[in-house]
Amino acid sequence: MKELSMDMAQAIGGDTIVNDIDITTFEGTIIGDLVVYEKGGNPLDGYTLYGFDEVGMFDDEFTTPQYCMMEIG
């Protein structure tokens, strides 16, 4: 299992930390919120998912969907 680390994260303002993940290979638990957004865009403009069962449900809303774990502190 690949652990998320701070060097893999990006801070997008204040105490918000975003860890982009490859949803096809990710194994583990959700840390913070699971979000899908437009790759290269702002994760705050994306959709919060309530579990892994919702992965893929909103992909058609984006040209290139990107998944992340987002923590707002």
Residue identified by tokens 């994760």 is 43
Higher pLDDT, 1 or 70: 70
Q: Please write the tens of the pLDDT for every residue from 20-50.
A: 999 999 999 999 999 999 999 999 999 999 9
Amino acid sitting at position 61: E
pTM assigned to the model: 0.82
Give pLDDT, residue 12.
67
State the alpha helices, DSSP H only, in 1-73: none
**Residues of the chain by 3-state class (helix, strand, coil), percent to 5:** 15, 35, 45
Mark 27-56 as b/e (b = at least 16 C-beta within 10 Å): eeeeebbbbbbeeeeebeebeebeeeeebe
